[in-house]
Every structure is written in C-alpha cells, then in structure tokens.
Structure 1
Amino acid sequence: MPSFPTTHLGFPPAQQAQIIRANQRDLFHVSSLREQTETVLRSWLGTRRLTRWDKEVDAFVKLLYYGLTIGRATQTLGEEYTDIWQYSSKRGNLPPSTRRRALLIILSVFPAYALAKLGSNMSLNQMYPELGTWLRRIQKTLSITTEVNLALFYLRGTYYDPIKRILGIQQLSSFPENPHTRPPSYSLLGVMIGIRLVYRLVQELKPSLWPNSTVSQANDDSTSGSMNAFLDDRPISQVIKSQSLEDAPVVPAEDDEGTALDVASISEDLRQSRNCTLCLEERTDSCVTECGHLFCWNCIVGWGREKAECPLCRQSLVLSKLLPIYNL
C-alpha cells in the first residue's frame, strides 16, 4: 500500500459517509463469501453437520477475506469502492505495520469466535456455572463499548471500529476536499445512541434504586414458568438447557424411540415425505414449531440456538414452545 502522509501530500481524512459505505460494503462481501462457502460445505457435510461448524466457518471466512486484503497491505473491497486508505496515526501517518495489521485481523475475529464458542457449550456451562455469568458480562461490556465507540464516531468522525481506535488506525481519502460543499453530519445519530446508553444504564441501576420492582419481575418469571410446555414429565426449557447436541449420534429412522409409528412398515413414497428440511434425512424425534413446520428435534434445537427464527418461513422461533409429535 502506498504511503499517504497527510502532512506532506495533503490527502484529507476520509469522510464519515465514505467510512460507513466501506464498512457496509465489506459486510456485504463477507456475507456473500460465507453463503457461497456454506453452499459448498453443505453439499459435502450436510446441513446438520454444517450447523455444528457454523462458528468455525464464520471465523474462517473472515480470516480469508481480511487476510487477503488487510493482511496483504491492500485495500478491502469496501475501501476500494469508496477509494479510502488505512494509515497509522502512531507511525507518523505511515501505512500500518505488518504487526499492527495482523493484530487488527486477529482481534477482529478470534475474541468474538471464542465467546460464541464458549457460550454455546452447554456441558461446559453446566460444569462451571460461573463461566456463563462471566461470558454474559463480557458480551454485555463489549456491546456497550461498541455502542460508545459508534456514538463517538458519529460525533467526531474517526474510528468506526473500536479495535482500530485501540491500534490507532485511521483512514484517508484520495479525493480532495471541496471547500464549496459541506459533508453530511451524523451527530444526531451519536446523540440518539448516547440517549439509548443512558436508558440502558438506568435499567441496570433500576433494581438497586427501586428494589420493589424486582418482586413484580419474580412474579412474572413464576407465571411464565407455570405455563411452560412439558416433554413427558420434564419442562421443555429444562430439556433444552441440559441437552448437548455436539456429540449427538445420528439415529436411523427405524430406531427412532420418539415415535409411535412402525417406520419399517411405511412405504418408501411416504417415507420420502418425512424428510427433515435441515438434515435432509428422515425425521427422528419429530417436533413441530409454532408456525406448523416439522423438523428433527436435534436439528431445530441446534438451529434455534443460533437463529431464533424458523428456517422455512422466518417466523419467530421459541425453543421452549416446541411440540413433540409421536404419530407423524
């Protein structure tokens, strides 16, 4: 990447609109690359196995995209689209060093992957209950930090990414400034995000400021618990929390203990209509969602832990409201 020291060549800082469009473009290309990767892997592994490796695929795609762009000291496709370049404010307005670029890629991918991986490990969270509490606190802290950084970006126009703020990586534009035009201001968005942060702070402090409100919250929790659906003699919410799908073996339909049907006596034509749309295999431990679609129990629970929506109609998916079906 060529050197663009603003003090010598007079290149202006990148405008807020350019930075925002560049990041949106990068998100689009990462999402497109991930969809194509999942399509290839789904044909090899199947949907059920691919769901188990969803986080690894996401991390691999990001490493591939940013490694081939930032790692090679070139523009990302979003930066190329808006014609902006990265430079290090801590190196005298020179391009970021190899070490700083590597840190940018690593910090952008691996912390989020580690938190998502640990948070989805139900057996580990059961063995160490305090771990789940700490993970939620870390995720909440990172979420608040991201919002604070975004508010500062909209107010001041620098460092759209909090990791770039830590590493001192800014962006400049190859387009000269036009003294006759005024760039758009996004300060109102920064003020609105600040108001939302204040509201979240009030909600966090509410139990200590108004202790009586916790009583009504406990009553609401007990009411929702009393209306919980049951699987045999156990609440479905308890079954879902205690269930680990990572090492769940694939059960043939003939050995399915979660059905009252004699699967072996069903004709082949009818059995083909019993396929699960997630694993593309014959359903086992069949269950139905609120929107009326049938899936394998393991398939839809694994899906629902990642996305709270039906994979067919995209309606809201609540795992505690899944209904087991024994005769379909």
Structure 2
Amino acid sequence: MAGPPSFPRAQQAQIIRANQRDIYHVSSLRDQTDNVLRSWLGTRWLTRWEKEVDLLTKLLYFGITSGRGNQSLGEEYTDIWQYSSFTSRTPPSIRIRGLLIFLSTFPSYFLAKWAASPGLSTRHPRFASFMKTLPSLINVSTEVNLAIFYLRGSYYDLSRRLLGVQHVRHIFSQVPFNKLINFKLSSIPENPHIRPPSYSLLGVLIGIRLLHRFVSYIQSRREEISLSTEKGKQRDHHEGSTTELFLDEQSVLDLLDLDLADEPAKPAEEDERTILDVASIPDAVRAGRNCTLCLEERTDSCSTECGHLFCWNCIVGWGREKASLPAIAPLSLMKFLLGGVSAMSPVAEPRSTLTNIQFIESVRFT
C-alpha cells in the first residue's frame, strides 16, 4: 500500500524571497503603526515604548498569519508552506506555531530591555556579564545556521531548526476554475530536469568570516590577559582620584541607577526645575523650546558643551544608547553636561546644573 505523498522541499531562493517579503511587510506595518501612535500620543510616548510597539507589531503580523495556520505574505508570495518534520504535517501543530512565534519575537525584546537596565550590573553582576555575552553568542549561532542553510538549504533561521519547521512546495494539479476550491496537491516537481540555483558560495564566505572573527577573538583575549595587571593598576588609580559629582544636590551615581524610561512624560507647565512661567510665554516663543531628540517642548532642560539644550531624560537616554562615543561613559557624560553649563554661564555651579540652565533660558527670553 502506498504511503502518504511527500511534497518537495522549497528551494533556497523561495525561502529567501519569502523571508525578505515578510521583513518588508513587518517594516511597513511598523511604520504605519508609528505614524498613528505618534499623531495620537506624541513622539515622546512612542520613544518610551518603542520596544513594546515593535514587539506587538511582530506578534500581530505573525499571529494572524502563521499563528492561525495560514501562509505569511512572504510564503504566499513564493507559494510555500510550513511543514513540521517532527509530526510530518502541514501546517505544524498550534503548539509548534506558538513556540515559533515566541522564539522569533520575545528573545530580542528581553535582551533589549535588560541591556537598557542601568542598575542590572550593580544588582546582579554575574547575570549582567552573561547578558552582555548572550547577544554575541546568538549572533554567532545565527550566522552558523545561515551558513549551513546556504550549504544544505533547509532551515533559514535558528528557531525553525530547533523546532524542526521546514518549508515545502505545494504544486497544484490542473483543475477547472470553478472547482478550484477542491484543489489537489501533487508531489511531482514542475520540471525535475532544471537544477535550482545554489548559494553554497555564500555559505563558504560566511564560514570564512566566522573563522576570522574567532581568530581575532582569541588574539584579543590574549592581549587582555597580558595587560590585565596594568589595567588593574590604572583602575585603582582612577577610582582613587575620582571626585563625586552632584546635580541639584543629588549624587550622579544615584542618578545613573534611575530607569528614566519608566518615568511618565510631564507637560512643560509642570516643570519644577525652571524659574520660567511657562504658561505665560507666547506660543511663538515656546515653539523654539522643542527638544531635538523628542521633538516636544523641553522639560528639565540641560545643556551640552556646544550650547544645545535638551530634555534631561532625553540626553541621558541618548547617551546610554551611544556608548561608543568617547564622551558618553557614565561619569564622562555627566562631566560633559556640567562642562557645557559652566562654559555658558559664569554663575553656573556643578551642584545646581538644572536650575542654572533654566536661568540661562530666562535670559534668552527676556
């Protein structure tokens, strides 16, 4: 007795095009969602909840397509279907589909949230160290899986490989249009004599790049071990010579541990760190008080060395995101902001930075 038909695996080109199409539609949905939320709730709210909006957008797209057992728009574009190699069924079971959506969306969200937590390194140093290395491990694992895909061509991403979700081609037989609803599936390829395109060269190139990164990592580790003693001495000298900084009688170290993203946005009229009567300022003048980061009227204004004014939460949050810049190390960022105020006003003092910058603002508007 003949067994159930086995459908041919999807070609690499079909899987790649389907993935690119899905990325395009997710990006388009995210842009439209951002436009709606920005017009309703403002740029500052959208910046605060950016990670959650990105997560919900992906859950919405994949939930109403793959989550319901349907083709995604990319899979429909290339005419491929998901197939579970563990249960030999298409579409996969609802449990596998749910796990696939979870692994495709939540890990990146959790990593982004933990990376933005300023107090994690002080409360849980070992866990923070592990979380710093985890993105690199995931990135390497993803590239290894991608190299294997280009060489062998079955699982495009790591989550599908873990769950055994492949893609197969569904080839429709010739049926009248009025009976298309009762279509049949055939496992005969369209043209078995045509060899599909190969992406093996890309797999080899990715393997060479991974080998180069591994060798570079080994060399850098050796240099770190050889210079560990010297760095320890420099660190002790730096800690002994560091002077504690204050902002409005608050320790800078305490301010660095605050999670500014959890603080609700407040209107400019409720700004407690200003001597201005914001409500009495003409609208034409208030239009020039917008922060260039959040595009809304500044609150808790702060200045950099170049004289530009920003919201305190905006510039500190931006500094945490731009850790590669030389002036954005935690203490250096505060000195950078303090130096900007001291250079602008001879009466500015480090212990009253936020108050003095509002005094400078009042001089501008008089």
Correspondence list, 1:49-60, <5 A: 49-60=45-56
The residue identity in structure 2 corresponding to 1:162 is: L
What is residue 195 of structure 2 aligned with on the other side?
Answer: 182
Give the one of 249, 253, 259 matched to 1:244.
Answer: 259
User: SS of the residue aligned with 2:83?
Assistant: strand
What is residue 212 of structure 2 aligned with on the other side?
Answer: 199
Q: CA deviation at 1:129?
A: 2.3
User: SS of the residue aligned with 2:131?
Assistant: helix
The residue identity in structure 2 corresponding to 1:174 is: H
In structure 2, the CA distance between the partners of 1:280 and 1:166, relative to structure 1 (3 Å rule), is same
What is residue 141 of structure 2 aligned with on the other side?
Answer: 145
Contact 1:304–1:317 under 8 Å retained in 2: no
Q: CA deviation at 1:272?
A: 1.5
User: SS of the residue aligned with 2:289?
Assistant: coil
CA distance in 2, matches of 1:208, 1:282: 45
Q: CA deviation at 1:137?
A: 2.0
CA distance in 2, matches of 1:289, 1:21: 48
Q: CA deviation at 1:317?
A: 11
Measured against aligned partners, the alpha-carbon deviations of 1:282-317 in whole angstroms (never above 9, x if no partner) come to 354244598x975323124435655889xxxxxx99
Q: CA RMSD in A?
A: 3.7
Using the TM superposition, name which of 84-93 and 36-45 deviates more. 36-45
Contact 1:289–1:317 under 8 Å retained in 2: no
CA distance in 2, matches of 1:217, 1:163: 43
In structure 2, the CA distance between the partners of 1:256 and 1:283, relative to structure 1 (3 Å rule), is same
User: SS of the residue aligned with 1:71?
Assistant: helix
User: SS of the residue aligned with 1:295?
Assistant: strand
User: SS of the residue aligned with 2:82?
Assistant: strand
Q: CA deviation at 1:276?
A: 2.0
TM-score using structure 1 length: 0.77
Correspondence list, 1:1-328, <5 A: 8-9=4-5, 11-174=7-170, 176-210=189-223, 214=227, 241-248=256-263, 250=266, 252=268, 255=271, 257=273, 262=276, 267-277=282-292, 278-282=294-298, 284-287=300-303, 295-303=310-318, 305=320, 319=328, 324=340, 326=357, 327=360
What is residue 353 of structure 2 aligned with on the other side?
Answer: none
CA distance in 2, matches of 1:140, 1:273: 43
Q: CA deviation at 1:202?
A: 1.8
In structure 2, the CA distance between the partners of 1:39 and 1:151, relative to structure 1 (3 Å rule), is same
Q: CA deviation at 1:174?
A: 2.9
Identity of aligned residues (%): 50
How many residue pairs end up in the alignment? Answer: 305
Measured against aligned partners, the alpha-carbon deviations of 1:120-177 in whole angstroms (never above 9, x if no partner) come to 1113333222221111122221111111111111111110011110111100123534
Which of these two proteins has the greater Rg computed from alpha carbons?
Answer: 2
Q: CA deviation at 1:319?
A: 4.3
Give 5+ residue unaligned stretches, structure 1.
1-6, 310-315
Measured against aligned partners, the alpha-carbon deviations of 1:69-93 in whole angstroms (never above 9, x if no partner) come to 1111000011001111111111235
Contact 1:63–1:105 under 8 Å retained in 2: yes
The residue identity in structure 2 corresponding to 1:282 is: R
Contact 1:69–1:76 under 8 Å retained in 2: yes
The residue identity in structure 2 corresponding to 1:145 is: S
Give 5+ residue unaligned stretches, structure 2.
172-188, 342-356, 362-366
Greater percentage in helix: 2
Using the TM superposition, name which of 56-65 and 200-209 deviates more. 200-209
CA distance in 2, matches of 1:216, 1:52: 41
The residue identity in structure 2 corresponding to 1:203 is: S
Measured against aligned partners, the alpha-carbon deviations of 1:249-290 in whole angstroms (never above 9, x if no partner) come to 537368464x7x856586542221111241522354244598
Using the TM superposition, name which of 206-215 and 115-124 deviates more. 206-215
In structure 2, the CA distance between the partners of 1:8 and 1:76, relative to structure 1 (3 Å rule), is same
CA distance in 1, matches of 2:295, 2:27: 22
CA distance in 1, matches of 2:326, 2:19: 30
TM-score using structure 2 length: 0.70
